[in-house]
Each structure stands twice: as C-alpha cells, then as structure tokens.
C-alpha cells in the first residue's frame, strides 16, 4: 500500500477527551504553567535554546566514544546513523531526545510515535537552521527494573508474555527465553527474530530493533548504563548523598504546582538514587548515619559512598527524578519528547536544573494518533460516522445512531382497514346469496386479522434485530479503535499494523507534524 493512500485528519487534543488538563493547559500555553518550563516548543524558540545549551568538546568526545563502543553490537551500521554519531563531535550539532522502556517487540504503539516525533522534529529544525546539525536520539531506559511493565505485548488481540526469573536492570537481562516467545507468534518477523536470537542482552536487542526500524532516518539509540557516561553524573551523586538537593527542590516545585491546581506526577525520595551492580538495582537510603542499600546487607559511611561514586560511577543509577538531569548532562540536547505523564513530571524539575546550572530543555508532547485500517474505515462509513466522532462514548454514539435510524412504529392499521373493507363487501355479497355464509366470512376475516397481527410483530422484531446488528457493529468498531476503552496507541503493537501495511512507519513519518500539537487520525483509503 502506498503512503499517498492515507487520509490524514487532525483534531485538538482537548476534543479527544483522552488527555489530562495539565497537558491541554500546556498546549494552550496557560499562564499558570509558565514557571514550570523554559520555552514553549516553536521553531523560533530553538534559536534561543541553542544559544543557552552549553556542551564542551570533551563532553562531545566522551559521548562519541561511548556511542561507538555501544554500536559495536550492530553489524553493518547504517551510514546515516554512523554519520550522526560522528556529527556529535561537531560544536554545531544538537540532539532531540525521546526515551522509553525496553518493551519487548517495542510494546505499545506510542513507543514508535515518540521516535517518529523526534525524527520529524530534527527534519523541521534542519530546514529552519541549516547551519546546525540535528540528531534524533532514543534514550534506552536500560536501568529500569520494572520488568512487569515491559515483558508483554498485544498482537492481533492476543497477549504474549516473556517469562524469566532474572532480576535487576532490564537492559542487562540475557535474551534467553525470548526464542520461545518468537515461536509462539503467528508468523516470523525478521527484525525481531534476528535481534532476539543474535543479541546477548535486552539492551543490545533493543538497539538492533530500533536500528532496523529507524536506521534509514539516522536515529541514534543511547544506553545510559555506561561507566564512561556515568562519570558526568558523579558531581550530582555527591550532592545527592551530602545535601539531598533534588528532593528539596522537587518538593518546593510540587507545592507550587499543587497551589496552582496541578497534581505532581511522580514522587521524590530523600535520595533519588539506586545502587546498581550485577543483577541488583535497589534504592539507597540513609539510616543511622549510614548509607544502606535496601533489601541487601550493603552499608557504607559517607566517605566510603563518595569513594565508591568516584571509583565506580556506573554503580549509581538515577531514578525518575534524576534521570532527566543525567540525560541533559551527557547529550547536547535541545528538546525532550514525552507522553502526557512525562511532560507533567518534567514540570517538577526546573528548579533542580537551575540549581545544577544545566539548560532546561524544550518540552514537547509526542505525536498521538488513531490509525484506521481500510476494513475499520469501511465499517465506520457504513455506520455513517466521521473519524472524529468515534472518540465519543459508545452510549453517546448509540443514541446518535438511534436518532438517525429512528422510524415510526411499524403499524399495519391501514392494511387492517383495507382487509375489513374487503370482507365487508364479501359479507354483503354472501348476505344476498346465502345468509348462512356470513359466519364463515366473519371467521375468515378474523383469521386474516390474526395473520396481519402476527406479521406486524415479525416485521417489528426483524427491524429491531437489524438495529441490534448495527449497534453490535458499532460496539465492535469502538473496540477495534479504542481497545479496552483506551487509546489504540496505549494497547496495540506495531506488528498489528505493519504486518498488513509494510509502509506503516513511512506513513506515520509523512503524517506527523511534531510542532502543530494536534491529534493525528490516519485513515486507509
């Protein structure tokens, strides 16, 4: 199927009813949110962001070396990816970053949408600012340890799950066991088959997948679980251990957000760090003058902990509060692209960035989309619905359809009158010829009336059944477009659509406008 056969419709995020007030207020540039971000994402705003972002030659060299090392897991790097990795050494090269967990088989569709938003943002920036280079980056959340969030995906309405007893940072997990999952799938998917069978770790496999899917667009995937990169975090770790700076500043921001009428998205800890080693990732807590690693026997004095931070920075893992700061310390980054919840938690962090003298990136909401296949488009049009109307609840749509198909009550009264008139004539004729036949005529008239009454009921029932079929079609369409009552992008997997439309990703690249901030509906024609 050609990309050109897609019909693209855009609608306001608020009109979908699927996004929080925090997000819709941000897109409206509400004054109440102004203290919590730096610059609103417009093409013009990037000029000032470029001026503000400081990133030294040494930082660029460290980043380049780390990426070169990480990409040794890829055999045959795409020329555009290698070019972008090399461009990061240049003082006029900047990144646009998105991040996500290492969901198996890419997880829900919004993983794909995030990356395409980053790619398209770089394209627009390149056109607007030709004297600079812009590199799309996917930050792999390799240090995350919430395996239950990434170990499953849905394909063609069926759930698949990876079972393993491994613990700790998921990026370090062996891919063992994923081969069994591959064999359960309805067909072979070469990109995933090759990545999961030939990669040692989940981090390597995810890099292979994003490279196969987005290498032609120059996407660079980065793993923060890297000793060389972690060295940049050491000063932050020291401040975290001695001052608990991030918690104080985030708590201040949280209070300010709540006073303005917004709920903080994530919770801060006294120490926003994990201890990371082998298959262990546990919180660091301060108790009885010691620094302890929860659920272990590990215990350190402040001096020992600081020494550990300097000698082994890779053993310190930032949580959700400090990870954004870490990203901005190791990348020449201008903008961060996230979903609604991510954008909301970045609002809690501006004070922390200011205190650490790090430029706060432009916050961008990723593109969101509803993809309507040709089959679902046909069902939708048969029901007389427009794509934008499908966001309404099933009950509201049912009322809408009921009013459209409303007909007068089926009533055969006119036919009954005609039958009565006909039998009256027959009765008159019988009376003149043989009055004894009048009773027979009356009996036949009653039979005819009974038959009409029965037919009236049957026709009414058939019409109701026809309407029930319409409502069932509506119910099925709603479930296809909004699985489990949520946005399709939060449930369905890439393969559900790419299997039948190999041009699915190019179609999204063609359709997404990252700076328009409209919800995108793509309809196959």
Predicted pLDDT of residue 101: 97
Predicted pLDDT of residue 406: 61
Q: Which two tokens stand for residue 108?
A: 């829900």
Please report the DSSP string for 66-101 in residue order. Answer: HHHHHGGGSSS--HHHHHHHHHTTSTTEEEEEEEE-
Predicted pLDDT of residue 240: 95
Helix (H), strand (E) at residue 222: strand 220-223
Cα(363)–Cα(241) distance, rounded to whole angstroms? 28
Q: What is the pLDDT of residues 115-130, one digit of tens each?
A: 999 999 999 999 999 9
Number of H helices, E strands in the chain: 22, 15
Cα(474)–Cα(401) distance, rounded to whole angstroms? 9
Residues in the chain predicted with pLDDT less than 50, given as ranges, are 1-4
Chain centroid to Cα 382, Å, comes to: 29
H/E/C letters for each residue in 18-68? CCCHHHHHHHCCCHHHHHHCCCCCCCCHHHHHHHHCCCCHHHHHHHHHHHH
Cα(39)–Cα(335) distance, rounded to whole angstroms? 10
Q: What is the pLDDT of residues 374-416, one digit of tens each?
A: 999 999 999 999 999 999 999 889 888 877 776 555 678 888 8
Contacts 24+ apart (CB under 8 A), 495-504: 495/105, 495/155, 495/189, 496/154, 496/155, 496/156, 497/109, 497/371, 497/373, 499/187, 499/189, 500/373, 501/1, 501/373, 502/1, 503/1, 503/2, 503/3, 504/371
Please report the DSSP string for 140-206 in residue order. Answer: E-TT---GGGTSEEEETTEEEE------S-GGG-B-TTHHHHHHHSSS--HHHHHHHHH-SBHHHHH
- pTM of the complete model beyond 0.75: yes
Predicted pLDDT of residue 329: 97
Cα(490)–Cα(523) distance, rounded to whole angstroms? 18
Predicted pLDDT of residue 412: 80
Predicted pLDDT of residue 452: 85
Predicted pLDDT of residue 510: 95
Predicted pLDDT of residue 431: 86
Cα(208)–Cα(342) distance, rounded to whole angstroms? 25
Cα(331)–Cα(342) distance, rounded to whole angstroms? 19
The sheet with strand 6-11 has its strands ordered as 6-11, 519-524, 369-372
Predicted pLDDT of residue 407: 57
Please report the DSSP string for 306-367 in residue order. Answer: HHHHHH-GGGEEE-TTTHHHHHHHHS-EEEEEE-HHHHHHHTT-HHHHHHTT-PPPEEEEPP
Cα(52)–Cα(35) distance, rounded to whole angstroms? 18
Cα(414)–Cα(411) distance, rounded to whole angstroms? 8
Is the torsion defined by CA of 164, 165, 169, 175 positive or negative? negative
């Amino acid at each position: 199927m050609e990309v050109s056969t897609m019909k693209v419709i855009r609608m306001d995020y608020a009109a979908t009813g699927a996004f929080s007030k925090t997000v819709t207020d941000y897109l409206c540039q509400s004054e109440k949110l102004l203290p919590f971000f730096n610059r609103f994402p417009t093409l013009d705003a990037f000029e000032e962001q470029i001026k503000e972002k400081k990133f030294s030659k040494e930082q660029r060299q460290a980043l380049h070396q780390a990426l070169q090392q990480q990409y040794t897991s890829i055999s045959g790097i795409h020329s555009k990816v290698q070019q972008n990795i090399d461009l990061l050494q240049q003082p006029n090269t900047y990144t646009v970053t998105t991040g996500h967990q290492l969901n198996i088989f890419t997880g829900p569709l919004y993983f794909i949408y995030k990356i395409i938003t980053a790619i398209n943002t770089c394209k627009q920036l390149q056109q607007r600012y030709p004297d600079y280079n812009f590199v799309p980056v996917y930050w792999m959340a390799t240090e995350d340890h919430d395996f239950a969030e990434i170990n499953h995906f849905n394909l063609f309405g069926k759930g698949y799950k990876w079972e393993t007893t491994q613990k700790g940072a998921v990026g370090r997990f062996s891919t063992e066991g994923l081969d069994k999952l591959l064999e359960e799938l309805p067909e072979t998917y070469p990109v995933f088959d090759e990545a999961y069978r030939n990669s040692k770790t989940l981090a390597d496999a995810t890099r292979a997948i994003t490279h196969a899917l987005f290498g032609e667009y120059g996407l660079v995937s980065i793993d923060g679980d890297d000793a060389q990169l972690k060295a940049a975090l050491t000063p932050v770790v020291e401040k975290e251990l001695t001052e608990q700076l991030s918690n104080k500043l985030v708590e201040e921001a949280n209070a300010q957000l709540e006073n303005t009428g917004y709920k903080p998205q994530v919770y801060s800890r006294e120490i926003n760090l994990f201890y990371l080693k082998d298959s262990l990732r546990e919180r660091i807590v301060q108790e009885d003058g010691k620094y302890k690693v929860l659920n272990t026997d590990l215990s350190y004095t402040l001096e020992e902990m600081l020494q550990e931070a300097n000698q082994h920075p890779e053993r310190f893992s930032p949580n959700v509060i400090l990870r954004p700061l870490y990203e901005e310390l190791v990348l020449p980054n201008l903008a961060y692209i996230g979903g609604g919840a991510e954008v909301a938690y970045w609002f809690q962090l501006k004070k922390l960035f200011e205190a650490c003298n790090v430029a706060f990136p432009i916050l961008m909401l990723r593109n969101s989309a509803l993809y309507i296949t040709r089959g679902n488009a046909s069902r939708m049009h048969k029901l007389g619905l427009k794509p934008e109307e499908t966001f309404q609840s099933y009950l509201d749509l049912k009322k809408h359809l009921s009013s459209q198909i409303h007909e007068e009550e089926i009533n055969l009264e006119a036919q009954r009158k005609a039958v009565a008139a006909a039998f009256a004539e027959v009765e008159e004729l019988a009376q003149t010829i043989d009055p004894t036949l009048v009773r027979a005529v009356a009996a036949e008239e009653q039979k005819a009336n009974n038959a009409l009454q029965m037919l009236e009921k049957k026709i009414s029932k058939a019409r109701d059944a026809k309407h029930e079929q319409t409502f069932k079609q509506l119910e099925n369409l709603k479930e296809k477009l909004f699985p489990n009552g949520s946005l399709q992008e939060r449930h369905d997997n890439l393969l559900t659509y790419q299997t039948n439309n190999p041009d699915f990703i190019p179609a999204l690249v063609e359709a997404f406008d990252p700076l328009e901030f409209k919800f995108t509906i793509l309809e196959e024609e």
